[in-house]
Amino acid sequence: MYEWLKRSSEGTSNEERNASEGSSNKILDECAPKKSKVYHFHQEWELDYFFTMVKEKCCCLICNTSLAMPKKGNLERHFNTMHSKYQTDFPPNSEIRKSKLQALKSQLKVQENMFSGPIEQSVG
């Protein structure tokens, strides 16, 4: 008796199982609002770090660097690294510090006024 060798062509399974089992109706609790966390600028930071709010941006009065997020940590780091001299030249809770802050703020207003200058119209 000859045993016929069956050519088992089952080697390549063409069955592609579409794993459509994952159609779970679970609703994730992603109710997070699109608005990112709002950081409120604290007025005392003007004296603490010489920062102020300019057009919804936290702006350094000393070097005019603007930070996107008015976070206390960012202000503190910037002030301590960039303007550590101010901490000694203008000690906290001192009159000289307040006057310096007022001077810087007045300068800022002057700059703002300069921006809104007359618009040159090119006559063709």
| CB 51, min distance to Zn ion, A | 8
* Virtual torsion, Cα 6, 12, 15, 21, nearest 10 deg: 120
Q: Are strands 51-54 and 66-67 parallel, antiparallel or unpaired?
A: unpaired
- Say whether residue 103 binds Zn ion (CB under 5 A): no
Residue of 47, 53, 62, 69 that binds Zn ion (CB under 5 A): 62
The sign of the torsion formed by the CA atoms of 48, 52, 53, 59 equals: negative
- Token couple for 6: 């069956």
Residue of 82, 104, 105, 108 that binds Zn ion (CB under 5 A): 82
| CB 61, min distance to Zn ion, A | 8
Q: Do 101 and 50 touch, CB atoms closer than 8 A? A: yes
Which listed range, 3-11, 68-76, 78-86, 109-117, lies at the site for Zn ion (CB under 5 A)?
78-86
- Say whether residue 96 binds Zn ion (CB under 5 A): no
- Say whether residue 54 binds Zn ion (CB under 5 A): no
Task: Count the neighbouring beta carbons within 10 Å of the beta carbon of residue 116.
Answer: 7
- Say whether residue 108 binds Zn ion (CB under 5 A): no
The residue behind tokens 């057009």 is 55
Residue of 58, 60, 75, 101 that binds Zn ion (CB under 5 A): 60
Residues forming contacts to Zn ion in the complex (CB under 5 A) are: 60, 62-63, 65, 82
